[in-house]
Amino acid sequence: MFAEENTTFVLIAAHSGEQFNQALPYLLIATALIVGLYVVLTIARARRVEPKSKWSPWEWAVYAVTLVSVGILAATSFGAVLSVGVLSGWALLAHMVGAGMFVFVLPVLAITWCEPSRFDLRRYGQRGPTGPERFYWFPKLTFWLLLSAGWVVAMTMLVSMIPWMGTDELESMLEMHRWSGLVVVAAAALHVSGMVMQRIGKR
């Protein structure tokens, strides 16, 4: 039964998403250009930076596992799409391993990073010392984008396992999964660039 469902899913993937497959190279290039532009502008406009509170080893570990899982998912899915046009075979198996990591670490990331990544508007109207923030606005924004798109990525695949879904519903779920996955990768790349700029003292 599982083999039949897997075969059906691969066939659906092979015959849907032509627009995504065609747009993917340009969207990845655009993401790289945006990251590069952000880094250049941040370095060019560097100014005196307020000290930030440091990360704990646990926060570092959660962030590292998140990036590894996103990297596996991006390499297996986008690599397969760009090379052969469809995610299948060993690439699909590796993608499922990365998906397991991502589904596990996503709620841990939310619990660990939500508090330091929240936008505290009260501190901007407050006079006097308020204590160091963990992150500035850009990593906060891209964190929430990554987290939101990540939930869509996870839920579209979990919902696709419901047996009463037909071909049309599976195609819709797969299309949402593709685009939200691209948003996750873009948000992760932007978040990393923001973290690097903060780490080297440019923000």
Per-residue pLDDT of the chain (203 residues; tens, 9 = 90+): 444 445 555 555 555 577 888 889 999 999 999 999 999 988 888 766 666 667 788 989 999 999 999 999 999 999 988 888 888 889 989 999 999 999 999 999 999 998 888 887 655 555 544 455 778 889 999 999 999 999 999 999 888 888 877 888 888 888 899 999 999 999 999 999 999 888 877 76
Q: Write the DSSP symbol of residue 152.
A: H
Rounded distance between C-alpha atoms, residue 73 and residue 69, angstroms: 6
**pTM, full prediction:** 0.83
Rounded distance between C-alpha atoms, residue 123 and residue 127, angstroms: 8
Q: Phi/psi at 140 (nearest 5 deg)?
A: -65, -45
8 A C-beta contact, residue 110 and residue 147: yes
The per-residue pLDDT for 49 is 64
The per-residue pLDDT for 54 is 75
Give whole-number Cα distances, 121 to 11, 64, 129, 150, in Å: 49, 29, 15, 25
Instruction: Give how far the C-alpha of residue 180 lies from the chain's centroid of Cα atoms, to the nearest Å.
Output: 8
Where helices occur in 1-136 by DSSP H, the ranges are 2-14, 18-44, 57-83, 89-117
**Which of 70-75's residues contact partners 24+ apart within 8 Å by CB, and which partners?**
70/98, 70/102, 70/184, 70/185, 70/188, 71/98, 72/97, 72/98, 72/101, 73/98, 73/99, 73/102, 73/181, 73/184, 73/185, 74/181, 74/185
The per-residue pLDDT for 122 is 57
Using alpha carbons only, how large is the chain's radius of gyration in Å? 19
The per-residue pLDDT for 178 is 92
